[in-house]
Amino acid sequence: MATLDILTANEASYAAAGVYDIFDGLDRMVTAVSARIDELVGPVVQRAVTEYHDGGGVVFPRQTPVSSVTTLKSWDGTTVTTYTLDTWGVTGNTDGFIVETSGSYPHDAKIVRRSSGLSTDWPSGHRSLELVYVAGRAATTETVDARSKEAAAEIVRRLWDRESSSWSRGGDPFVEGAGPSMRFFKAFDYVIAEHLGDELKPPAVA
């Protein structure tokens, strides 16, 4: 199984066939299903992300929800400035930033600069800001929340019932070039929407 999978090997095996025994190809199925859930609701299992943004305005991390920000730096062609995470209600650092979220919707994270406690623009420049952060909800596969696990397990159950006979004849739909396109997964997007509808990303970024 892969590090970012939503289900463990035992959970996937039980979802597929009701037994605690890993089947050939099931690990690839779980990885593919986990990736599709990540695509629609944002990262589930946490991972480190490095991005480059243009300076001048607010920084919007591309993978949400944001668990924590590791570093934020700017480069003006000569000097690299490292910014410090500030806390609301505390006097801001000379070069500080705040991560803003509403607390109720996981995809509205933005990062604003505070200079001595006041909001101000980032130094301008194309891809001049390096943002390193942790995106995702759960630290490991084992600690993924029950709703995400149930969504993944239901999809695995349906996929296994649908595809196991073709697999037994040697056709594995999760080997590159051997199976259906992304339309195969979109047939099950409604399961993700039913279980995790309040966590779906806006259509423009899904």
Report DSSP state, residue 51.
Answer: E
Mean pLDDT confidence for 144-156: 93
Range name among 45-49, 150-154, 163-167 with the lowest pLDDT average: 163-167
**What is the three-class DSSP state of 50?**
strand
Q: 106-135: buried (b, 16+ CB within 10 Å) or exposed (e) per residue?
A: bbebebbbbeeeeeeebeeeeebbbbebbb
**What is the three-class DSSP state of 136?**
coil
In Å, what is the CA distance from 138 to each residue of 3, 122, 159?
A: 12, 31, 25
- Are the C-beta atoms of residues 97 and 84 closer than 8 Å to each other? yes
Residue holding tokens 């605690």? 20
Identify the pLDDT of residue 16.
63
CA distance 5 to 7: 6
Report DSSP state, residue 105.
Answer: -
* Residue 21: pLDDT band with limits 50, 70, 90: very low
Q: Which long-range contacts (CB under 8 A, 24 or more apart) does 96-105 make?
A: 97/69, 97/72, 99/66, 99/69, 101/65, 101/66
Report DSSP state, residue 16.
Answer: H
* Residue 167: pLDDT band with limits 50, 70, 90: very low
CA distance 17 to 56: 54
State the helix-helix crossing angle for 189-196 and 146-168, rounded to 10 degrees. 160
Identify the pLDDT of residue 19.
47
Two structure tokens written together for 144: 């993924």
| pLDDT tens digits along 103-124 | 778 899 999 998 877 788 999 9
The number of residues in the chain equals 206
pTM of the model: 0.81
| pLDDT tens digits along 128-146 | 999 999 999 999 999 999 9
The radius of gyration computed from the CA coordinates of the chain, to the nearest angstrom, equals 21
